[in-house]
């Protein structure tokens, strides 16, 4: 049964929430993947967490690469639906999926060949952690093609207004991962004790299952994929150009963000492997809020994309305002939870390391200060994507994320020490939200009138 939804009419709040809830749930599924790994690896030891966290930077960088076809799918399909152009929507679906596979294969090959040099960049200084990190990276690289394809499938469905199907399918992968993690990490039942390797294999198997289900469901149940032979249809030059135009700015931003994260991790490693593990766990805890906001960001992108295609600017303004109100509430709640619940939250993941707990509590409380503006930044990014203007979020993201490095070096060299690095992250997040929100409000006031004048000048000619 086709569940695509028109977002160009009806109650705005209801449409946003109905679309966003399954997307948020899908985001939680991704968070839960990583959290499940952290929970069980935390029982193995802080070194295991540090190893997976170090290698995890390269799956983070992978998310920057698949952002190109993912954003292209979400925005391209959404705007095609707004124009009621199914041929164009199918073209975006085909090209984004094939592009994701191609990029994944190239990236995987690079990671496999240069895995020793890649992990060596961090200068971890602990032979055991280095070996575990290399093992984890190698195994994850074998399954990266599925890690790339699944978000693009989700983006296609989200752009068509069907966010429920990706949630259900990704949930099956999460359940698989949750079952396999303890079995393969701790060596329960027929499985040998594999530690970090077990966490990696559990993730690869789960992601593979999700891809298989997406393919089977798409071919049988969804109108968008009707008569669509992805393998036989060649790349469309104009479509690929549009996909890169839509997705590349966000991809560059995410890639630079990941690169900056790697540099910060190298700075943090000066204090030993424990702070590296703390940042990995703390980032997963904090990711609950930004993944929730990202769910609304995707909903806002699809909503605004369809209304942009239908040229309904009044609904775009109202939809953005409603979106900010919702994510602001999420940000406020996150601030309260991270500041006042830091101790029990972190203790749940690493219960037996008092030094890690002390550092982790400080990390969560400092990051909690910026949660509201951080959610504004994510929502505004989706709003910009919806009108096809993906460069402003990238400019803001790149500039303020890059500031983290000098800020971290300066702050950490003072009496703040390690806390100075956490403050550099929090302050830059707040600035991104403030600047991007103001920028979108200004653009929103000007764009429709600028386009109207442009159209009038063409008609007069």
**String of DSSP letters for 200-256:** HHHHHHHHHHHHHHHHHHHHHH-GGGTT--TTTSPPPHHHHHHHHHHHHHHHHHHHH
With cut-offs at 50, 70 and 90, classify the pLDDT of residue 92: confident
Q: Is residue 46 part of a domain?
A: yes
Averaged pLDDT, 359-375: 92
Averaged pLDDT, 191-219: 90
Q: Which of 99-103, 162-166, 353-357 is the least confident region? A: 162-166
With cut-offs at 50, 70 and 90, classify the pLDDT of residue 270: confident
pLDDT, position 7: 64
Q: Give me the number of domains the chain comprises.
A: 1
Percentage of the chain with pLDDT > 70? Answer: 90
DSSP 415: T
Q: Which of 146-150, 275-279, 320-324, 457-461 is the least confident region? A: 457-461
What average pLDDT does the chain have?
Answer: 83
pLDDT, position 146: 92
* pLDDT at residue 376 tops 90: yes
Neighbours of 57 (CB within 10 A): 22
Structure tokens at 78: 């959404």
With cut-offs at 50, 70 and 90, classify the pLDDT of residue 225: low
- Domain coverage including residue 76: 18-454
More confident residue, 5 or 147: 147
More confident residue, 105 or 314: 105
pLDDT, position 202: 92
Q: Is residue 5 part of a domain?
A: no
pLDDT, position 3: 53
Instruction: Give me the phi and psi of 393, to 5 degrees please.
Output: -60, -35
Q: Is residue 1 part of a domain?
A: no
* pLDDT at residue 184 tops 50: yes
pLDDT, position 452: 44
Residue 145 CA to chain centroid, in angstroms? 16
pLDDT, position 426: 94
Structure tokens at 426: 């929090």
Averaged pLDDT, 47-69: 83
Compute the distance between CA of residue 94 and CA of residue 98 in angstroms, rounded to an integer.
6
Q: CA 285, 287, 288, 289 torsion: positive or negative?
A: positive
Q: Is residue 459 part of a domain?
A: no
pLDDT, position 82: 74
Summarize pLDDT for 405-425 with one digit per residue, the tens: 999 999 988 888 899 999 999
Averaged pLDDT, 34-57: 79
With cut-offs at 50, 70 and 90, classify the pLDDT of residue 25: confident
Averaged pLDDT, 318-346: 89
More confident residue, 175 or 280: 175
With cut-offs at 50, 70 and 90, classify the pLDDT of residue 457: very low
Averaged pLDDT, 153-174: 84
pLDDT, position 168: 87
Q: Is residue 461 part of a domain?
A: no
Q: Is residue 100 part of a domain?
A: yes
Compute the distance between CA of residue 16 and CA of residue 323 in angstroms, rounded to an integer.
8
Q: Is residue 323 part of a domain?
A: yes
Q: Is residue 270 part of a domain?
A: yes
pLDDT, position 220: 67
């Amino acid at each position: 049964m086709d569940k695509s939804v028109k977002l160009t009419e009806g109650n705005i709040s209801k449409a946003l929430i109905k679309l966003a809830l399954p997307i948020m749930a899908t985001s939680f599924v991704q968070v839960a993947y990583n959290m499940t790994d952290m929970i069980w690896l935390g029982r193995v030891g802080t070194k295991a967490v540090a190893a997976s966290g170090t290698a995890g930077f390269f799956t983070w960088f992978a998310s920057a690469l698949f952002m190109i076809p993912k954003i292209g799918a979400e925005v391209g399909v959404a705007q095609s639906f707004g124009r009621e152009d199914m041929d164009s929507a199918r073209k975006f679906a085909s090209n984004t999926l094939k592009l994701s596979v191609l990029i994944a294969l190239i990236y995987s090959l690079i990671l496999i060949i240069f895995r020793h040099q890649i992990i060596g960049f961090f200068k971890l200084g602990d032979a055991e952690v280095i070996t575990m990190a290399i093992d984890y990276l190698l195994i994850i690289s074998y399954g990266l093609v599925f890690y790339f394809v699944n978000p693009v499938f989700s983006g296609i469905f989200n752009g068509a207004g069907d966010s429920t199907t990706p949630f259900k399918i990704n949930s099956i992968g999460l359940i698989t991962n949750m079952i396999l993690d303890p079995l393969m990490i701790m060596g329960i039942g027929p499985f040998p004790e594999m530690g970090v390797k077990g966490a990696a294999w559990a993730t690869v198997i789960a992601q593979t299952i999700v891809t298989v289900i997406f393919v089977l469901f798409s071919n049988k149940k969804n109108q968008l994929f009707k008569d669509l032979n992805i393998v036989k249809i060649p790349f469309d030059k104009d479509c690929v150009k549009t996909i890169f135009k839509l997705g590349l700015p966000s991809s560059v931003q995410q890639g630079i963000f990941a690169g900056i994260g790697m540099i910060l991790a190298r700075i943090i490693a000066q204090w030993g492997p424990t702070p590296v593990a703390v940042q990995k766990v703390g980032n997963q805890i904090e990711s609950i809020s930004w993944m929730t906001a990202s769910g609304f960001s995707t909903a806002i992108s699809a909503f605004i994309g369809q209304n942009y295609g239908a040229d309904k600017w009044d609904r775009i303004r109202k939809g953005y305002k409603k979106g900010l109100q919702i994510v602001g509430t999420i940000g406020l709640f996150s601030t309260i939870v991270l500041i006042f619940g830091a101790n029990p939250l972190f203790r749940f993941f690493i219960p037996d390391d008092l030094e890690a707990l002390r550092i982790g509590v400080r990390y969560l409380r400092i990051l909690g200060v910026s949660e509201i503006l951080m959610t504004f930044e994510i929502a505004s990014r989706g709003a910009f994507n919806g009108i096809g203007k993906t460069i402003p979020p990238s400019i803001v993201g790149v500039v303020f994320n890059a500031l983290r490095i000098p800020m971290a070096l300066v702050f950490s060299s003072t009496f703040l020490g390690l806390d100075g690095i956490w403050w550099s992250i929090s302050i830059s997040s707040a600035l991104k939200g403030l600047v991007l929100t103001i920028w979108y409000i200004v653009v929103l006031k000007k764009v429709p009138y600028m386009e109207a004048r442009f159209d009038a000048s063409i008609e007069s000619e």
